[in-house]
Amino acid sequence: MDMIKLNYKIMKEYKEYLKDVNTLLIEFLRAAAEDPRIGPVHISLYVAILHQYKLQEYKLPISVYSRDLMRLAKISASNTYHKYIQELHRYGFIQYLPSYNPVSGSSVYPIKIN
């Protein structure tokens, strides 16, 4: 199998995996239960991201706005939001690409958890 077909197959499988929001959530919660760094704010923020992913019909990247995720995750301070979304990125649960333009949302990619 040549490299292009192999990469296509891997990407197709990855996209199918990511469409299963239940699997993403279950694997995240399993990993969170074992990771002492993860607390309730991380969990509610991750769930809010998955909710946006579903609303956007599983299109990647997930376009997110802090105000929307904060409302869904019940986070009242923007400093708290930025701290926790950056921690989810740093801990390897999401890839977060911030946008400093208020008109265009930041991009988030869920990362497959092994």
Helix pair angle (21-34, 3-19), 10° resolution: 80
Residue 97 reports pLDDT greater than 50 = yes
Instruction: Give the pLDDT mean for 87-106.
Output: 93
Give me the pLDDT at residue 60, please.
Answer: 86
What is the dotted CATH code of the domain comprising 3-110? 1.10.472
Give me the pLDDT at residue 17, please.
Answer: 62
Residue 54 reports pLDDT greater than 50 = yes
Residue 25: which pLDDT band, with cuts at 50, 70 and 90?
very high
Measuring CA to CA, how many Å separate 50 from each of 19, 46, 74, 76, 106?
Answer: 10, 6, 15, 19, 14
Domain boundaries, the chain: 3-110
Per-residue exposure over 31-54, b if at least 16 CB sit within 10 Å of its own CB, e if not = ebeeeeebeebbbbbbbbbbbbbe
Residue 9 reports pLDDT greater than 80 = no
Residue 57 reports pLDDT greater than 80 = yes
Instruction: Give the pLDDT mean for 43-68.
Output: 94
Query: Which of 7-11, 16-20, 65-69, 109-113 is modeled with the greatest confidence?
Result: 65-69
